[in-house]
Amino acid sequence: MVNISIETTRKRRTPYATKELNQFTSEEIRSYQEVLLQKQLKRAVRNSEYYRRIFRELGVNVNSIKTLEDFRKLPPFMNKDLERESQRLSFEKEGHPFGEHLLVKPDQIAFTGTTSGTSGTPTFTYTFTERDIRTMNKYIRNMLEYGGIYKGDRLLFSHSLGIYATSSILFGVREHGVLPIDVDVRAGSDMILKYAQMSRPEGAMMTPSLAEYLVDRAPQLTGQEVGDLGLNALFTVGEIGIGIPEIKRKIETAYKCRVYDYLGEFGFSCDSEEYHGIHAVAPDLVLFSEDLVDPETKQPIQVEDGVVGEVILTELSLEGLPRIRYASGDLVQVFTEQCPGCGFTGPRLKVVGRSDDLLIVKGVNVYPSAIKKVVASFDEMLTGEFRIVLDSPPPRVVPPLVLKVEHREGVQKTDLGYIEDILKSALHRELRITPDIDWVGAGTLKKQLTKTPLFEKCYEG
Q: Which residues form the interface with Zn ion (CB under 5 A)?
A: 270, 276, 339, 341-342, 344
SS3 category, 173: helix
Task: State residue 38 phi and psi, 5-degree precision.
Answer: -60, -45
From 258, 185, 187, 255, select the one nearest 224 (Cα to Cα). 255
Angle at 126 between CA 122 and CA 128, to 5 degrees: 140
Nearer CB in complex with Zn ion: 185/339: 339
CB of 86 to Zn ion, least distance (A): 38
Task: State residue 337 phi and psi, 5-degree precision.
Answer: -75, 160
CB-based contact 375:382 (threshold 8 Å) = yes
Beta bridge partners of 109: 129
Q: How far is CA 340 from CA 183, 334, 337, in A?
A: 36, 14, 8
Nearer CB in complex with Zn ion: 113/347: 347
Q: Strands across the sheet with 364-366, in order? A: 364-366, 359-361, 396-397
For residue 235, what is the enclosing H or E element? strand 233-237
Q: Residue 198 CB: number of other CB atoms within 10 A?
A: 9
CB of 396 to Zn ion, least distance (A): 38
Nearer CB in complex with Zn ion: 193/240: 240
CB of 275 to Zn ion, least distance (A): 9
Nearer CB in complex with Zn ion: 24/344: 344
CB-based contact 210:236 (threshold 8 Å) = no
Nearer CB in complex with Zn ion: 341/384: 341
CB of 240 to Zn ion, least distance (A): 18
CB of 280 to Zn ion, least distance (A): 11
CB of 169 to Zn ion, least distance (A): 22
Nearer CB in complex with Zn ion: 292/349: 349
Nearer CB in complex with Zn ion: 178/339: 339
C-alpha dihedral over 127, 132, 133, 134, to 10 degrees?
180
CB of 204 to Zn ion, least distance (A): 21
CB of 20 to Zn ion, least distance (A): 20
Task: Quickly list DSSP for 116-136.
Answer: ---SSS----EEEEHHHHHHH
Q: At what angle do helices 26-47 and 49-58 cross, to 10 degrees?
A: 110
CB-count exposure of residue 69 (10 Å: 0-12, 13-18, 19+): exposed
Nearer CB in complex with Zn ion: 345/365: 345
